[in-house]
A and B are shown apart, each in its own frame.
Chain A
Amino acid sequence: MYFVLFSVLACLLTCHCVVENGEKDENHCGFLKQWLEYTSVSVEISNKGFHREVVNTVELSPDVLSGVRVLLVHRWPNGIYIDPYQLASLRDHSDWQILLDSAIDLEVPAHKTSGFVTYLYPTLDEQTPNLLKVTIPIHGRYHEPSFVGKTSTSVEIQTPELLLRSKKCTQLNNFEPHTVVDAPCTVDNSSTCPWIKIQHQQGRGHVSLQFPVGDGSLMKPVCGGTLLVTMICCAALSKLMWKHQIV
């Protein structure tokens, strides 16, 4: 009889612990859901010319929440590229790490390549800050020359997707309007985790970059002029060399 009483008590205690953890989890998830309402991300471009910097500003809730991981997913167009070797050399001085989804050809023109995706993991302290600023160096590719008189072409950089996850909240089924997506857990891409993708009320914005392009309508005069000058130089030099030859 005592044995039965003891087993029942043990059972009840275990159930109570599980329920309490579940409640804790639920509490944490509820807190996280409220916390997410204060998040936003914006993008600006600095510098001019073919070498720019994309400054991502992520605003998080002023409430203190620990254990939150942030991931910025950029879907880049084919008009720009990121130099992985430059990123590697910046690694020691930057507070973020980046994962590229494919190898990048640094020299190919824009119309001969496609866009790519990057996963950016800011290095955060245990206490999540309420403002994150991350600067990524990008470079413009050469574009096809314009045959309609345009002097530059436009490249659009979308605002990145902001993904969040918390170690303490594992039940991600109640975060409407935000969706849950799978993405690499960390920069070494060894596993994927569910992340909460923040849906912004104002929708995803974009910024436009302008890159100069060649004037295709000048093809004939440029070809003609180049070949004429090179042939004249060739003829002049050949004549002189023949005249001054050493026999």
Chain B
Amino acid sequence: MEKLISKLTEKHVLFTASFAIRLALVAYGDYQDRTMAVKFTDIDYHVFTDAARFITKGESPYNRSTYRYTPLLAWMLTPNIYLNMVFGKILFIVCDVLSGLLIYRILRLRGLSSESARRVCSLWLLNPLPMGVSSRGNAESILAALVLGTLLCMEGRRLMWAAMLYGLSVHMKIYPITYALPIVLTLRTPGTTEGKDNQGRRWRRFIGFCGGFLNRELFLFASVAGGVFCILTSFFYYMYGWEFLHETYLYHLTRRDIRHNFSPYFYMLYLTADSRWSQWLGLAAFLPQLILLLVASWAFHRDLAFCCFLHTAIFVSFNKVCTSQYFLWYLCLLPLVIPHLSLSIKQGVGLLLLWFAGQGIWLCPAYFLEFEGYNTFLLIWLAGLLFLIVNCFILIQVISHYKPTHTPKRPKVE
């Protein structure tokens, strides 16, 4: 068994096999689309392709209803129209395998042996979930590759590249903006007053703390990332106007999807959609997310990969809208965390099963509501709360059993 696993995870075999399996899935998907009533390809892929078609005719991609992404994605998919519809899917599976390679490189930089690194990144490369998502035509793998690329460059201290990739990833989807907090904390000059001069005046420490943010590296990162983001945004605003800003960014920031989804806030937002408390409740729903992101940034900024994983997991779990697509945002970072977890295989599998059970408990009443017409709103609400509790429990286990790469000073645990 051991020999089989080592054979399978040999570098060339692993990456080739994972690409081949994804390619086979794309081919099968094409066959299923042509012959069966239930389609393999995700509806999003048709949205991207329709938007790309509008671009080839010289029109705005936002003419396609529900296209809520950057025009860059539609531009990248124009070969779908000029060459073959399958181009986009090939691009997504290449990014998917590239993400696996980036995970491998980051793990090596963090001190793992080649064999262990390969075994861990096979958790992504041979995982049916990202395989299915990319081969069905979702663009999540592009963002996974960009985020992992940013982390790799940060680990290797190649700040220019990290900043460019980071600016590009924020342009493509908003959620990586939350990584700005730990990145800024990582790049600042560590305060000389920290831990040493506890009797020093508070204001002096505060000034010292603020002064730590004024350094060359941080300035370089902020200007390059900000520059890339602003250039892309201005260019597309010039081309497509207000509609681009609204559909790509503002819609996601103000999105109040009252239809059922995994979010614990779903039923509350549905019932209060037209009440005068709606705005206040929206703000109240945002507070836990904000507080947790601030605490996570401060507590774990020294281990950027772990911090980003926590950030994304918290962001998704406490968000006002949560669909299964969002899970990939933190699943691509999980392989970076796993080598440092002191959980046994049994405990790990137990947590995984618990996560799936939480989703299953939600999916049951949701199915009966959507496809059978039963009024299961209350059950869906309770299942949503339960899923949040399950996610928090899993995060608590991960944080409690995490051993960082280097052995920094940790405060005494009571």
List residues of A whose CB falls within 8 A of some B CB: 48-51, 84-85, 89, 103, 105-107, 109, 142, 144-145, 151-152, 210-216, 218-219, 222-223, 225-227, 229-231, 233-234, 236-238, 240-247
Contact = CB atoms under 8 A, between A and B. Distances in A.
A234 B318 contact: yes
A222 B388 contact: no
A245 B298 contact: yes
Most buried by A among B287, B303, B414: B287
B274 A229 contact: no
B411 A237 contact: no
16 contacts: A142-B259, A151-B375, A211-B373, A218-B271, A226-B381, A227-B285, A230-B265, A236-B396, A237-B292, A241-B296, A241-B299, A244-B402, A244-B410, A245-B411, A246-B303, A247-B410
A222 B410 contact: no
Interface string B257-268: 111000011011
Interface in B235-285: 257-259, 264-265, 267-268, 270-275, 277, 281, 284-285
Interface in B290-305: 291-292, 295-296, 298-300, 302-303
Nearest to B257: A107
Contacts of A105: 65
A234 B293 CA distance: 10
A233 B387 CA distance: 12
Interface of B: 39, 43, 46-47, 50, 65-66, 195, 257-259, 264-265, 267-268, 270-275, 277, 281, 284-285, 287-288, 291-292, 295-296, 298-300, 302-303, 310, 314, 318, 369-378, 381, 385, 388-389, 392, 395-396, 399-400, 402, 404, 408-411, 413-414
Contacts of A49: 369-373
A223 B377 contact: no
A223 B280 CA distance: 12
A243 B270 contact: no
Most buried by A among B47, B259, B268, B302: B268
A233 B389 contact: yes
A244 B408 CA distance: 12
The 8 closest A-B pairs by CB, nearest first: A245-B299, A234-B288, A212-B375, A49-B371, A49-B373, A151-B375, A233-B392, A226-B268
A241 B399 contact: yes
A142 B270 contact: yes
For the residues of B in contact with A, the DSSP-based class is helix
Nearest to A104: B65
Most buried by B among A105, A151, A223, A243: A223
A214 B274 CA distance: 13
B373 A212 contact: yes
Contacts of A107: 66, 257, 259
A245 B50 CA distance: 47
B39 to A, nearest CB: 8
Contacts, number: 152
B300 A246 contact: yes
B61 to A, nearest CB: 15
Contacts of A237: 292, 295, 314, 392, 395-396
Contacts of A244: 299, 399-400, 402, 410, 413
A141 B285 CA distance: 25
A226 B267 contact: yes
A29 to B, nearest CB: 43
B46 A230 contact: no
Contacts of A152: 373, 375
A50 B370 contact: yes
A226 B265 contact: yes
B66 A106 contact: yes
Contacts of A214: 267, 270-271, 377
B299 A242 contact: yes
A105 to B, nearest CB: 8
A246 B277 CA distance: 39
B258 A142 contact: yes
Nearest to B409: A247
Contacts of B396: 236-237, 240
A84 B268 CA distance: 30
A242 B413 CA distance: 11
Most buried by B among A84, A89, A233: A233
B373 A219 contact: no
Contact of A223 (B272, B273, B274, B410): B272
A225 B402 contact: no
A215 B379 CA distance: 12
A212 to B, nearest CB: 4
Given A48-B373, A89-B46, A230-B388, A219 B400 contact: no
Contact of A247 (B274, B287, B296, B408): B408
A75 B4 CA distance: 64
